[in-house]
Structure 1
Amino acid sequence: MSDSRDWQGDAVDVAIVGAGAAGVGAARRLQALRPDLSILVLEAGARVGGRAWTVRPPLVEGSPIDLGCGWLHGARTNVWKAIAEEIGFTVDKTPAPWSEGGQNLEATMPGGQEARAAIGAFFAHAEQRRGEKPDPALSDLLEPDNPWNDRVEAIGTFLNGSPLDQASLEDYNNYHPGPGPDWRIREGYGALVTAYSQPVPVALGTIVTQIDHRTADHIAVETNRGTIRARAVVVSVSTNVLANEGIRFDPPLPEKLEAAASLPLGLANKLFLHTGTTDGLPVDAHLIGSLHRSATGSYQLRPFGKPVIEAYFGGPLAHELEKAGQAAALSFAREELASHFGHIIAGELEVAAMSAWAATPHIGGSYSYARPGASPQRSILAAPVDNRLFFAGEACSPSRFSTAHGAYETGAAAAEKIATSIAGGVGRS
């Protein structure tokens, strides 16, 4: 990646707004297909990667941890797996603790088998109601007085980043990340996206405020650092940015605003805890904080064998703990973990890092979910405008939303359309 910090406004063939997985994917695909075209990625933040973000906290001796996406879902066909192998990153194939062959400790908890059976029955029922019209909320499928409804609700917050009453049944049934297990990148998923962006010219700290597509021969992209003229533009920012009109369009695009508002970002945050003792903590095991509360954490114990516990919070609980801060999140996690491992282990825990995606500027959440009836809005959001203004990002994927490979695929698809719609370029990079 070349950080074009000295850029002060210019003309390029293609401007890409957003340097997350979709924007990087669009740029790299376009470079491969049309090396004659000049490209510039405009990124509002201070780094590449978007919701893929690897950090190396001192408390864990600089080991990489992912504050954003961390798993290669549908790993065997996930494009980021192939990219990782191509550029020399390590794909770790240890079974995910919640999958077959993994260590899921929930099954050994009192009531764990019953809880798993209830979850399985709920989502089997959801699949049986595929195609139902009008599209109901997932909460409509809950059985009244079922003692495991809170456990099912907790799973819903992890999947969608929102309560079940806000999430579409149709969208749930459309989701398919591809065949294969869930694997990981040892060096970090965010680090992989950043490394892959190296050949791409990126202007960091460049906030796009308006996209003027009135003129037939160019699109004017207005930013805090000047205006850039482009023959085609790819917009790959989050739905929350679009819905809140963080970027204005001239002429307006009300159908895009409506689609974005119907596909808001849910919230899932991670809290990484360093533990001074690993006694009684298995490696790469999974544990749920409580089987009987919807407001509970999901805990991965000692990922990669590190003296770390990764806590995962979704939906209303994630919002509450993000607003309350790290001390409150630590206290919550300690209490839940103490109920399983005792207060000695819980007392050893310290915060190594914590995400706060709702408050992250120019993003505002974790991954998109569809409100009831809104799943078709994904295709509306993704549709090009005049074959020169394109949209990409995980929310634009009809089946691989909420994933980094879904985001990449939408960016690559936009690049392929641009490659066939633009005549010879000026060859700048």
Structure 2
Amino acid sequence: MQLLTRRSLLAMLAVTAFSGTTCRRLTAQTSPESTHCHTLVIGAGAAGLAAAQTLQDADCSVVVLEARDRIGGRVHTDYDFASHPVEYGAEFLHGENIVTWDWVRRYRMATLPAFDYYRHQFAYANQALLPFRQWSTIPGLDALDLLNGSPIDTLIANWIDAGKPDVSLAQFLELHQIEWSPEVRRLVDHSLSGSYAANLDQLGVYGLMETTYAGDGDRYFRLQKGYSHLLEQFAAGLDIRYATPVTRISWSSSGVQVQTAADQTYTAQQVVITLPLALLKANTVEFVPPLPEAKLKAIQGLGAGHITKLILKFDQPWWPSELESCLTPLDTQFWWRPGWQRSNEAPVLTAFTGAKGADTLGALGRDGAIQTGLQHLEQMFEKPLTARLTDARFVDWQADPYARMAYSYVPVDGVGLRSQLAQPVDRTLFFAGEATHLTRAATVHGALESGIRAAQELLSTPAHRAI
């Protein structure tokens, strides 16, 4: 959840290494109808902001076109719901060694540790809440180490080394006669649904082993002031045009012309496209001429995963003080306390749900999802809770018109599609976003690295260096 070797951000931003040249800053000629700049970036999410900042640091004229009225894309922090930030989208720094830390340290941002699995994670199984230390009492529950140095991980590696065909994870488990009780199977399924936003029968085993996150580290963290605060630092000083959805990109080797929903036209020499995969799948932007077949194959071949978040606020805490998170076989799948380790923690719980569970909650809509979440908590904790609920949010990223997905996954026979999606087209169109990252998809740091990679590809083109 790497196409490029991870290095420190400061080194990655040393773009003057390209033949000792930088691009000349152009003065944008701006009117309501037409704008010209050297480079356009479509999307002000993590990938787009990283690309734009890298280009601007190289003294390029950059305009960022953002469909929303805010930055961040699938990063969205609510500062009003509780006494502390609450994340609607991406929430964690996934690892102690990831590139995001370079920005965290640069901007001197405080972080909080998250997910102490060994002391504070629970599972709801056999109609009981069990702390991690008791999971071994349930036959098969050790399978929750799936794809994390477990025997199954080794089995998949051996399968691939033997040159056997790609199969779904569900089929792989059946072929190896790995069987669990229905409840344990749901727990295993749910532990993966959130990580990959897909069901076991949708995930190809080759793709799972391609997405390694090698070297990222095992610890999780939150940003004290929220993820949006970090991205606001990226956005500072950038020329971002908000509420500007793109409808058409006309391109050739000599440049691009981008049209918006408001009939504005932007022209540039090159463009970095960071649209979510689902928007590319749905042809929300028309490419003239159409994209090459290899690019279209990658777009249609990769999976666009579904995640929902249900965030419930109560009158006061009623859960065990030692509980930080809880995995369940229910449709709400995985609960956690977003205010964990905060001195001003509000009585809030988040249910993070992927794949089939997200489909179920999404079909219920806001009110139905809230009612289902309350029923599940009452079942798990054996407490009446409806009267104690004071506020709620339901976030369905598949229903968001400018996302239509959470993050991507690789289906059976999908290995290589991420690399195809990332490839530039005619030294004019450059692609970034979590779906283009070979080994760190579905993460903010993967999106950041992809934006830097796309910007560096653009900066290294002969056409660019000739300016």
TM-score where L is the length of structure 1? 0.89
1:91 equivalent in alignment to 2:118: no
Pick aligned residue for 1:146 from 162, 177, 180: 180
Give secondary structure in 2 for the equivalent of 1:385: coil
1:264 equivalent in alignment to 2:303: yes
- Alpha-carbon deviations, 1:301-320, whole Å to 9, x = none? 35333311111111122122
1:81 equivalent in alignment to 2:101: yes
Letter in 2 for 1:420: S
> What are the within-5 Å matches in structure 2 for residues 16-415 of structure 1?
16-32=41-57, 34-35=58-59, 37-58=60-81, 60-61=82-83, 63-74=84-95, 76-92=96-112, 94-98=113-117, 100=118, 102-106=119-123, 107-108=130-131, 112-113=135-136, 114=138, 115-120=140-145, 124-130=151-157, 131=160, 132-143=163-174, 145-147=179-181, 148-177=184-213, 178-180=215-217, 181-214=219-252, 216-225=253-262, 226-253=264-291, 254-282=293-321, 285-290=324-329, 295-301=331-337, 302-303=339-340, 304=342, 305-345=345-385, 347-415=387-455
Give distance in 2, aligned partners of 1:351 and 1:158: 24
Against the structure 1 CA distance between its residues 284 and 405, is the aligned structure 2 distance closer, same or farther, given a 3 Å change threshold?
A: farther
Letter in 2 for 1:91: T
Q: Alignment length, in residue pairs?
A: 410
1:11 equivalent in alignment to 2:47: no
Letter in 1 for 2:67: A
Give secondary structure in 2 for the equivalent of 1:299: strand
Against the structure 1 CA distance between its residues 112 and 50, is the aligned structure 2 distance closer, same or farther, given a 3 Å change threshold?
A: same
Unaligned runs of 5+ residues in structure 2 are 1-28, 124-129
335-344 vs 10-19, greater mean Cα deviation? 335-344
Against the structure 1 CA distance between its residues 347 and 175, is the aligned structure 2 distance closer, same or farther, given a 3 Å change threshold?
A: farther
**1:239 Cα deviation after fit:** 0.8
Alpha-carbon contact 2:121-2:323 (below 8 Å) kept: no
107-116 vs 120-129, greater mean Cα deviation? 107-116
Aligned CA RMSD, in angstroms, stands at 2.4
- Alpha-carbon deviations, 1:380-411, whole Å to 9, x = none? 00001112210000000000000011011011
Against the structure 1 CA distance between its residues 236 and 228, is the aligned structure 2 distance closer, same or farther, given a 3 Å change threshold?
A: same
Unaligned runs of 5+ residues in structure 1 are none
Alpha-carbon contact 1:330-1:351 (below 8 Å) kept: no
Give distance in 1, aligned partners of 2:101 and 2:44: 19
**1:424 Cα deviation after fit:** 6.4
Give distance in 1, aligned partners of 2:358 and 2:31: 38
Against the structure 1 CA distance between its residues 110 and 73, is the aligned structure 2 distance closer, same or farther, given a 3 Å change threshold?
A: closer
Alpha-carbon contact 1:240-1:261 (below 8 Å) kept: no
Alpha-carbon contact 1:277-1:345 (below 8 Å) kept: no
Once the two structures are aligned, what percentage of the paired residues are identical?
A: 26
Give distance in 2, aligned partners of 1:89 and 1:309: 24
**1:220 Cα deviation after fit:** 1.2
